[in-house]
Copies of this chain bind each other. A is one copy, B any other.
Amino acid sequence: MVKSNVAEIASIISESSRAAILTVLMDGRFHTASELASMAGIKPQTASFHLSKMQEAGIIAQQKQGRHRYYGIVNNEVANVMESLLFLAPPVKISSLKQSTQDKAIRYARTCYDHLAGKAGVTVTDALLKAGYLKDEQETFLVTERGISFFNELGIDLEKTGKKRRSFSMRCLDWSERRHHLAGSLGNALLERFIELGWMLRVPQNRAVKITEEGITGFMRTFGIDLSLEEER
């Protein structure tokens, strides 16, 4: 006689709301609990119940960030199961909720606590990684030798910012881009410096950040990136 854990895993996926959530998570990104709730067409309490159940089963992971909790698929084995299931029985798209176009600005550039987030934040972080000023490492970003001189040239005093390289440069999960960007004290120092340089302006009402004309040319010259709104459709 054979008893299987297979049934337990399948049982998790067998509930339609959970299957919907996992299907959404197959994009490889992390999503908030409330977003997953609305996508699955259930109330937040119900989603919370399902999410904790899946977490307990070890097939999804949670990442807390302020009052948000981001959920994502935990590893490749789980993704494989979903992939084979999706191949055998592809899901049916019922409808697409009307795109809210209101909050483009806040998705594009905003503050996250004390650092830059949104598409701008991710783009800047990517540029820093690509140029070799930062190195992706486990849970943090590490500043390279070349990075040290770069930040000094930019006018950021790394000595003052933090004692240890490893501790001041942290990764932060972006809710709109669903990717990591630079946080921690270095992220904060960078944002402050951008504002100091006149490249960015804080928008009083909300957490959005406006990129100035000087900023567009500055980011282009210094990072080689185009932060004009054109590319955002």
Other A-B pairs beyond A1-B97, A10-B14, A81-B84, 4, CB < 8 Å: A3-B20, A4-B20, A4-B92, A5-B92
**Complex Cα spacing A5 to B94, Å:** 12
Cα distance A100–B34 in the bound complex, in angstroms: 57
Interface residue total, chain A, C-beta cutoff 8 A: 44
User: A23 contacts B2, CB within 8 Å?
Assistant: yes
Q: Which of B6, B13, B80, B84 contacts A7 (CB 8 A)?
A: B13
Q: Does A128 contact B (CB under 8 A)?
A: no
- Residue in chain B with minimal CB distance to A5: B89
A84 touching B88 by the CB < 8 A rule?
no
A105 CB to closest chain B CB, in angstroms?
27
Are A85 and B10 in touch, CB under 8 angstroms? yes
Q: Which residues of A contact B (CB under 8 A)?
A: 1-16, 18-20, 22-24, 39-41, 77-78, 80-95, 97
Partner of A4 from the list B3, B81, B91, B95 (CB cut-off 8 Å) is B91
Q: Which of A6, A11, A95 has the most CB of B within 10 A?
A: A6
What's the least CB distance linking A19 to chain B, in Å? 4
Q: Are B91 and A84 in contact (CB under 8 A)?
A: no
Docked-complex contact A88 and B82, CB < 8 angstroms: no
Distance of A178 from chain B, by nearest CB (Å): 17
List the B residue with the shortest CB-CB distance to A13: B10
Task: Tell whether, in the assembled complex, residue B16 and residue A7 are in contact, meaning their CB atoms are under 8 Å apart.
Answer: yes
Cα A4 to Cα B5 in complex, Å, equals 23
